[in-house]
Chains A and B, each alone.
Chain A
Amino acid sequence: MTTVKKVAFAAILGFGLIATTASADADKGKRIYQKKLKNVCGFSGAVFAAKHTQDEWAEAKENGELGKVMTEACPAGADFFESAKFKKKFSTHLYDFVHDFASDSGNIPSC
């Protein structure tokens, strides 16, 4: 291995391979919906997100009623929305996702 290769690999490994931290992520929210809710709800994430406007989703989050509002949008997912994992972990990612694709977001889905 040449010096450049060694230095490059070492630098990228050194900078990159450290433990982990999580932050809210709309893409992750989309994946969570796809994995946990799509079959349960019976419709796509885009349809779910478009059940409310951005303001309505934001208001639900501010009032601590995201789970309740999401349950109204997808009653079959009630168990999931009441779970501790949803409250502790999934809700922020799902919120970013539904806010991104709310009925008045104007975001055009990728194809």
Chain B
Amino acid sequence: MKKILLSLAVIGGLASSTFADDIADLKAEIDALNKKVAKLENQQKRTKKSLAKVRAHDAFDNIKFDIDFRTAYDYISYKTATKTYTNDALFSNRLWLGMGYQPTKDMIFKGQLAFNKAFGADTNGRGQGYDGFDWVINETLTDDTLKVREAYWLWTPTVGGFGTTLSVGRRPATNGYLINLRDDDKAKSPQGHIINMEFDGLSASIKLDKYVSGSYLKLCLGRGLTNARTRFDAQGLDYATDTSADKLDNMDLVGVLAKIYDDGQYSAMATYYRGFNVPGIDSTLTTPALRTFGNMDGAALSAQIQGIGDMINDFLDDTILFASVAWSQTIPNANQPMLGSINKESGYSYWIGAQVPNLTGGKFGLEYNHGSKYWRPFTYGEDTMIGSKMATRGNAYEAYWTQPIIKKDGKSLFSMQIRYTYLDYDYTGSNGFFGDNGTPLTMAEAVANGLDPVESAQDLRVYFRYRY
């Protein structure tokens, strides 16, 4: 028995000694591993830092492209005094190929190439008439050529402690404040109630948000028409001003925009502009043609509530309400009746709307606007097939449902919209220029003059849109 116990003690002692050695070995191995892990962690940190530097450098070292491609179906219908005209098979594609480059923090280039075309070959000279006018060339259905919709540089220096911007180039004054809601776009600075067209020019702004939340002041100068002669002019006067009586003057537009207030929930915006030497059709000529008619003033005040209450629930948070009022006034040249009148004529318009979220993660909207007899905004580029609803001298009603179908990182990648627009005209000439074809006649007056005016128009649209 003693022998057995002695043997066990010896074996135990030996095992204990081996176990202690193993523990020491293991500890050494763990220490070595810890050192390796620490080294690897440091390496990973350095790699992450390097990668972040590379990404930050890369982010400002190349042109970034984005795509906005939309396929739409429109059912359109016009009711005149005598007849109804329809198109129940109008399909179209619209592509915006955007690009941006920001080599430094305060210098940005932005560009956008676009095409906007109806399905099928065209035999009606689309894009050759006023639908090919420079103000709307990318907003109307033309052909399958890519055109420049946007190309400008934007400099954003801080001057005297104020954030400022200066930008020159071709800038579409489209998709502006409030009209962006039905268009499902981010709002650009123009007020959609009065300005919605493309232009070449410059803008300069100064941020005043250190005084009033979100406020800024912006000056915009645009050239709507140039009367420079062509290259290889017959008289050798390439690009000189053409002062011939049958030529249009340069047309310019000066506007002052003010973001009065914007705290992310409540915002208000105001604009005043003057268009110099605005064109119109002169019907007194043997062959009616465009002539310069005078100047045009306009102004608007718009306000928006994005979210009702202080984050009460998602429905109220995402509900948007807005209202806007606008005014326009003609300033005709001597003996050049603008909108059919040699006197200064004022028009007004008001616009209200709401947008609410729905169960499917989409948005539902209702809008109404009214325009008076001499109402005339610059909204020729508005994205409405039957003519600008904001220009309606009468009543315009609209309902839409915008639905994201595929989202990525909180952004709509693929979406659809169903929209119905109904325009009920009180007067003719809602979408004309500033001369005779902008003359407001009641429907009865127009009929008495042998015309067959459009009394109402409607557009039912369904689109699918890819953006990335």
Contacts and interface: CB of A to CB of B under 8 A. Distances in A.
Contacts, number: 138
B359 A96 contact: no
B264 A33 contact: yes
Contacts of A63: none
Given A4-B460, A12-B364, A30-B264, A100 B55 contact: no
A16 B401 contact: yes
Most buried by B among A20, A22, A105: A20
B298 interface: no
Given A34-B264, A53-B52, A106 B59 contact: yes
B58 interface: yes
Interface string B83-127: 000000000000000001110000010100000000000000000
B410 interface: yes
A5 B58 CA distance: 52
A28 B59 CA distance: 24
A40 B303 CA distance: 24
A61 interface: no
B307 interface: yes
Interface string B349-380: 00000001111111110000000000000000
Interface in B50-84: 51-52, 55-56, 58-60, 64, 75, 77
Contact of A104 (B52, B110, B189, B401): B52
Contact of A111 (B60, B154, B214, B409): B154
Interface of B: 48, 51-52, 55-56, 58-60, 64, 75, 77, 100-102, 108, 110, 154, 156, 165, 167, 186, 188-189, 213-214, 262-265, 306-307, 311, 313-315, 317-318, 356-364, 399-401, 407, 409-411, 418-420, 422, 458, 460
B56 to A, nearest CB: 4
B29 to A, nearest CB: 29
Given A9-B420, A12-B401, 7 more contacts: A16-B399, A18-B358, A90-B311, A104-B59, A108-B64, A110-B188, A111-B167
A4 B401 contact: no
A110 B150 CA distance: 13
A20 B102 CA distance: 38
17 contacts: A8-B420, A8-B458, A13-B364, A15-B401, A17-B364, A20-B313, A20-B318, A21-B360, A25-B410, A35-B265, A55-B52, A103-B56, A104-B56, A106-B55, A106-B59, A108-B101, A108-B108
Most buried by B among A27, A28, A29, A30: A28
B446 to A, nearest CB: 21
A9 B263 CA distance: 34
Contacts of A85: 311
A18 B75 CA distance: 25
A34 B362 contact: no
A12 B422 CA distance: 14
Contacts of A53: 52, 55-56
Contacts of B460: 4, 8
A55 B60 CA distance: 17
Interface in A54-101: 54-56, 85, 89-90, 93, 96, 99-100
A41 interface: no
B418 A11 contact: yes
